[in-house]
Amino acid sequence: MTMTKMPLNVVQFANNDPNRLSIYEGMRDLYFHALSEDEGKNYGNYDKSVSLAEKNEKLSKHIFSEIETLSKTPMGDMNLMVWATNPSVKWAVDATRNAIIEAIIPDAIIRSIGIYTDIENVEFGQTATFDIKPNSLMSTSKSGNSQRTAWVQKQFDTSVTLTPVNHDITVQASFYKVLAGKESLADFMRKAVVSIERDMSKDAYAALTGLLSSATFPTALKKTGYTAANLLNLCQTVTAYNQGNKAVIVGTTQALSAVFPSSSDGYRVVTDANSMSIQLIKNFYDYDTLVLPQVASGSSDFGLTLNDNQIYVISPSSDKIVKGNLYRPAC
């Protein structure tokens, strides 16, 4: 996982000040550190020399400093309760929180749905237009000597405009406890990002499955029942019709487990006896596999959103199947 550059609006918000920008970089570091520890995987470059608890405490102090800078109201020896009632301080808390969430969201979205979703950042009140390029090749016709041209062909892009739909997340934290260091503002915002990521992932996945189940999707590119021959056929077809851009096999961990060689097919897996573990194969006949992180549905029965019985073959280097907007809030 490679972290994206800091969003331009966050850079502008911090007045391109390296000291202030380090706070937002630190929050991204904290987010991926916590994510990596929770899921036991390395999701990005983060400082491993500092513990998660130390980062949380340090960032909470830095966020407090950012609030003072932004509000231009240093607390000094003033009573915390009195200082916190200042309207400028309240505004600075909200503005800093929004900027931190915006700094993390692009990385969070790329981690979960970036393989098949193209996300455009749009400003308040704007829309995003995506140009869809045709993937068909040109036809070659017979020609003759001294014939300068053959059948003239031209392809046209298709433009699709998406209008953002506002979504809100409202959570509660004790304002005074946060400022007093009794509650972690960093941890509170990290959970807000995870919640936003979950719902955006569900929307993107619903768009993907809706496309694949629609009647307009080519039946030649849908197979029922897994066999190695079916999978290889899809991989070859997707690669060939995307001008040679290599296909990638995508699915959840459970779905991709079907791709694992079976002993009935004459395969045998050799693993280290001192550290016995069998993981998903990362390459299937020279086609890479990629695991989609499961998404909690949020239901009381602990359901999961992604279908564990479906495998997708896509060519992400050619174009993304799903398009989306990442809307910058007005405040």
pLDDT band per the 50, 70, 90 thresholds, residue 78 = confident
Q: What is the pLDDT of residue 75?
A: 85
pLDDT band per the 50, 70, 90 thresholds, residue 266 = low
Q: What is the pLDDT of residue 39?
A: 62
Q: What is the pLDDT of residue 220?
A: 82
Mean pLDDT within 188-200: 78
How many other C-beta atoms lie within 10 A of the C-beta of residue 54?
11
CB 112 within 8 A of CB 148: no
pLDDT band per the 50, 70, 90 thresholds, residue 2 = very low
Mean pLDDT within 208-212: 76
What are 94-110's pLDDT values in tens digits? Answer: 888 888 888 887 777 77
| Highest mean pLDDT pick, 36-50, 249-263, 272-286 | 249-263
Alpha helix positions (H), the chain: 8-13, 18-39, 52-71, 80-84, 87-113, 175-179, 185-213, 228-240, 253-256
What are 211-238's pLDDT values in tens digits? Answer: 777 767 777 888 888 888 889 999 999 8
Mean pLDDT within 198-204: 82
Q: What is the pLDDT of residue 16?
A: 85
Q: What is the pLDDT of residue 1?
A: 43
Share of the chain above pLDDT 70, in %: 82
Distance CA 250, CA 252 (A): 7
What are 129-172's pLDDT values in tens digits? Answer: 777 777 677 777 777 777 777 778 787 878 877 777 777 777 67
Mean pLDDT within 261-266: 60
Is pLDDT above 50 for 56? yes
pLDDT band per the 50, 70, 90 thresholds, residue 330 = very low
Mean pLDDT within 26-46: 73
Distance CA 223, CA 226 (A): 8
CB 23 within 8 A of CB 13: no
Tokens 């003759």 identify what position? 144
Distance CA 20, CA 38 (A): 28
pLDDT band per the 50, 70, 90 thresholds, residue 274 = low
